[in-house]
Amino acid sequence: MKKQNKGLINAIKQRFFNRFLPIWAVLLFDITSVFLLFYFTVLLLHNFGDVEFDKIKILFWALLASTVYLISFLIFKPYSGILRHTEIKDTIKIFMATTCSFIILLIIVAINDFLLKSPDWILQLSIIIIHYVTTLSFLTTSRLLIKIIHYYFLIKESEIKCNTLIFGAGSSGLIALKALQQNKKNQFKVVAFLDDNKEKVGKKFQDIPILFPREALNEKYIKKHKIEQVIIAIEKLSLTRKQKFIDKALLLGLQIKIVPPIENWINNELTATQLHEIKIEDLLGRDQIKLNNEIIAQEIENSVVMVTGAAGSIGSEIARQIVGYNPAKVILLDQAESPLYELQLDLQNKKKYKLVSDRIVCVVANIKDKTRMEALFCLYKPQLIYHAAAYKHVPLMENYPYEALKVNVFGTKTLVDLSLKYNVKKFIMISTDKAVNPTSVMGASKRIAEIYAQSRNNETTRFITTRFGNVLGSNGSVIPIFKKQIASGGPVTITHKDITRFFMTIPEACNLVLEAGTMGKDNEIFIFDMGSPVRIYDLAEKMIRLSGLEPNKDIQIIETGLRPGEKLYEELLTETEKENMLPTYHPKIMRAKTQKHDINAISNLFLELHEALVSCDETRIVAKMKEIVSEYISNNSSFCSLDK
């Protein structure tokens, strides 16, 4: 019997509560209500029939009042909302429509009284007033009643699967609550709001208490209320506060979700499905960087810009940002055809790039090919070059020094020489922190490229070097590797328990590259504020917890030993550069004055380096690299013997 009743209730829910009334039905309901309430008002004033009244006259006035209300409804559209989701803005529309109708009826009565003076058809002012009040009250109350019935009949009785806390009792928190309440599957029950504002704590919203985070983020409260999830719903939460809050929630085994930025909402409305799980990138980034967009725009607007390595993580983001500054033409160059094709499709298909899509040229080419590069320079005559093309994988390049030298050094040399020949205004080279006191072939090759570019700086062409650490989500980054290892059940492998790295988001790094490109003048290296270094072991632990698992219990973390050429700690500046450190107008960008390299001495060294390259003798190649970069000392590599 209980099963039959439950089945009947579910059938009623499915039939009536999971469907929406069309707007014409709501409008018909409203107008019918206006008409009937008019008769109710007349009956009320005539003691429900004890006092006689002219039914024909009242019918006329009821039809006239209904017509006036209909016109107001069509103007203000109070019927357009979903009844079960009635909000303040819907009740305001009802108020505007009924008040407008009331005023129009008053005007009609006034015209009749003072101009037409037709006593047989004079409508009592009391009828208009009472009808207005009852109509406004009824239409508003009926909608709220439908909302309450829907909530208690459909939502309250449904199965609650996940007890939730919302961090933030402001507007975003209330919007998140609404999104959860309107979720069709109704998987969530909000137990409490959390907020740091003491003026809010102790109060309630929709009978939900507001607490300090410390009151709820403890084992006793979590177990008592069976909390499984917390939602961060504060728009301008500092990264430090967010990190502390998330660390505490992770230790308590809670699932963490975050309200996305308003620009990512669908049709400007938030739904439960849009609440996304916190990502490790959200914890390693920094507070939003403010750029001087006017200066960047002056630099790029109406200029011909070339981006090398455009299909890579850094190059593609630089390309996306550049097209937003209205360049005359953008040449996107890379040897990887498939990623370059994907970038081309992305730039062509997105609306925000439509205006400049015809100015974007994707070129499949290799910077090692001098003949091909010269043909491109001659054809397009670039004014700005952002050089991101390079081999970047440390252990791999340790096995292939020839390739590292051919691309990172001589590929860069080709571009530098052509930039001088074709009067490029600025050449912005994207380097790496691994070029500082290098311990690997890759790092040394990037340092040699820096030296060559700096040696060729002149009044016509400015060569600017930007240097930063690891970027989150880049090809070969440790984070996607950890994600795959966790997804497959582990273990998560790290090379050393004490290894640390600097991290920066790709958009942030590229923002700073564009800004630094506007500053460069003479023999300067621009270093970005990378924040505090991150211990990779701690990163692995945090990522495992974000997956809802326990480190070294559900997923093991294993040390595999340092790879060839790998450092324990990365640096952003040499000792000499630290001594010559200077600030810029941007707080996140510093500049270091470097020594002026003698072009003749550098040219002779490069001739010798090229001879070593032609010999294909790896030992000879690396030995010559060590001669050029005296601070290059190999680590955990077969080339360590060259340092003795």
Active-site residue set: 434
Instruction: Tell me the residue type at 429.
Output: M
Residues sharing a CB contact under 8 Å with residue 332, sequence separation 6 or more, in sequence order: 307, 310, 311, 315, 319, 340, 343, 344, 360, 361, 362, 363
**Distance from C-alpha of 45 to C-alpha of 360, rounded to nearest angstrom:** 76
Taking residue 533's Cβ as centre, other Cβ atoms within 10 Å add up to 15
**Distance from C-alpha of 309 to C-alpha of 331, rounded to nearest angstrom:** 11
DSSP letter for each residue of 290-310: P--HHHHHHHHTT-EEEEETT
DSSP assignment letter at 122? P
Long-range interactions of 148-157: CB distance < 8 A, separation 24+: 150/17, 150/84, 151/84, 151/181, 153/13, 153/17, 154/13, 154/17, 154/18, 154/186, 155/181, 155/186, 157/9
Residues sharing a CB contact under 8 Å with residue 274, sequence separation 6 or more, in sequence order: 179, 260, 264, 265, 266
Side-chain-side CA neighbours of 190 within 13 Å: the count stands at 30
CB 568 within 8 A of CB 309: no
Helix-, strand-, coil-residue percentages of the chain, each rounded to 5: 55, 15, 30
CB 427 within 8 A of CB 453: yes
Which tokens go with 597? 């390299």
Residues sharing a CB contact under 8 Å with residue 559, sequence separation 6 or more, in sequence order: 493, 494, 495, 496, 497
